[in-house]
Structure 1
Amino acid sequence: MTDDGPPRLTRLSFHGPLSDARATALVRRLAAARPRTVLDIGCGWGELLLRVLEAVPGARGTGVDVNGEGLARGRRAAGPRGLADRVEFAEESALGTRRGPADLVLCLGASQALSTAASPTAEALHELRRLVADDGRVLLGEGFWERPPAPHELARMWPEASAADHCDLGALLDLAVAAGFRPEWTETASRDEWEAFESGYQADAEVWLAAHPRHPSAAAVRDRLDRHRAQWMAYRGVLGLAYLTLVPVAR
């Protein structure tokens, strides 16, 4: 905690509702196929990418994101784990990327990185089929509606939130099949994972704000925290996140 402003996301291992227990199981399953190349779309700081590389000696990975701060965190984490020579963190757009095909493609909460559509899931799935090797795997983390959102809930979510932003879980699986995949494994984030993520997302700044209520940045930080908390309360129990392990259908 400093006088310059709140620290950023130090309470989170992953930038999403993903527990260590689920991550361990995912890595074990994905590593069993012994991927030689791993591509992480919208990687943030690439923690899951690094864990896969640790589990598959000799595999090489690339994380792509437009957020330089997250990429720098990933590079710092790679060194002490002996992975600096096996991973690249590239600050660039993933739209139309030529980084594939890879044996394993990760895309966790980042389908918007592959499409400019207002509802990017379908187009992103087709892009993921292009980016994965024919005998590879895709791990997609994608939002879905656990139940139809009410108008008053949508009004309090992210700006211009619409019921068309997501579909239900069954329709999401149908989109994956239509894009050329079969679902090997389907799982969804639990309420505990969501609450740990949302609390951790805010915690650093909340503690800083309590200690620095008259800091020049305090008003802006307070507005951001209050706005995000209100959005979370609107989509809590309404928005789900699916983790789909997808197998490409042979062409």
Structure 2
Amino acid sequence: MITTDSDLPPRLGSLTFHGPLSEERATRMIERLAAAGPADVLDIGCGWGELLLRVLEAAPAAKGAGLDINAEDLARGRVLAEERGLADRVVFVEESALGTDRGPVDAVLCLGSSQALCDPELSHDPAAALRELRRLVRPGGRVVLGEGFWEHTPTEAELAGMWPGARTDDHVTLGALVDLAIEAGFRPAWIETASAVEWEEFESGYRYDTELWLAAHPDHPLAAETRERVDRQRASWLNGYRGVLGIAYLTLVAVA
């Protein structure tokens, strides 16, 4: 059987942002960032760059660069930039952010992507990521960091229900995360965390189009592997990290 793109399981079409982030919270973060009048904005692990594009709309003098290794997401970002008349002010680049020389800039976005700044051969290290973010931003510049933290230390049963190999040292507490930001050379201008509603909107939206596809294509050649993947993802949330893993959104100012 020959399959076409229209036959394949859809991917993330119902998500505006690739994370538990509401329109209202995004708007407030963008307003705070744009108020500083950035000339250049770097988005680490940008995906399709929705937040980056909105920052550029709010800061009309700024130019932006989005880095990611997913070509499909980057292509979506370029289409969005064209549709919004921003193609001449933003580039979407398929490259690793590890050790990037694209800084320093006035503003950095890094939402759920700090692992892109860490050695992939080592355990994720938020302290190392924060030091790298400080390197990439000018004194007085802003960083908007979206980073996971433990709402409480997970039990063995909760860890067993999460992603393969989940450990208590995969994340730190919110207080420890903010302390690491200060140690890296930032002041935490704003501290906020994703709500339960934002998590549910993201988790359901992440799978929504695929669930509809599975219901309509139960016998498709790709249905079995797609069903197994989606069921595993949902179970890891509902039986593992729901109410345990939080997402902090930190607006950080680089100390002069």
Do they superpose with TM above 0.5? yes
Residues 204-215 of structure 1 mapped to structure 2, 5 A cutoff: 204-215=209-220
In the TM superposition, residue 119 of structure 1 has moved relative to its aligned partner by 2.4
Distance 1:217 1:230 in 2: 20
Tell me which of 176, 180, 183 is aligned to 2:185. Answer: 180
In the TM superposition, residue 6 of structure 1 has moved relative to its aligned partner by 1.7
Residues 70-89 of structure 1 mapped to structure 2, 5 A cutoff: 70-89=73-92
Number of the residue aligned with 2:245: 239
Number of the residue aligned with 2:194: 189
Residues 217-228 of structure 1 mapped to structure 2, 5 A cutoff: 217-228=222-233
Number of the residue aligned with 1:39: 42
Distance 2:191 2:160 in 1: 30
CA contact (8 A) 1:41 1:105 kept: yes
Aligned length in residues: 250
Note the aligned Cα RMSD (angstroms): 1.1
In the TM superposition, residue 137 of structure 1 has moved relative to its aligned partner by 0.3
CA contact (8 A) 1:65 1:94 kept: yes
Write out the 4+ residue segments of structure 1 that deviate beyond 2 Å after TM superposition. none
Tell me which of 151, 154, 157 is aligned to 1:149. Answer: 154
Residues 131-146 of structure 1 mapped to structure 2, 5 A cutoff: 131-146=136-151
In the TM superposition, residue 4 of structure 1 has moved relative to its aligned partner by 1.8
Residues 112-127 of structure 1 mapped to structure 2, 5 A cutoff: 112-116=115-119, 117-127=122-132
CA contact (8 A) 1:102 1:136 kept: yes
Residues 52-67 of structure 1 mapped to structure 2, 5 A cutoff: 52-67=55-70
Give unpaired runs (5+ residues) of structure 2: none
Give unpaired runs (5+ residues) of structure 1: none
Distance 1:142 1:226 in 2: 25
In the TM superposition, residue 9 of structure 1 has moved relative to its aligned partner by 0.8
In the TM superposition, residue 21 of structure 1 has moved relative to its aligned partner by 0.7
Q: Does the residue aligned with 1:231 lie in a helix, a strand or coil?
A: helix
Distance 1:215 1:55 in 2: 44
CA contact (8 A) 1:114 1:120 kept: no
Distance 1:58 1:119 in 2: 35
TM-score with structure 2 length normalisation?
0.96
Residue identity over aligned pairs, in percent, reads 67
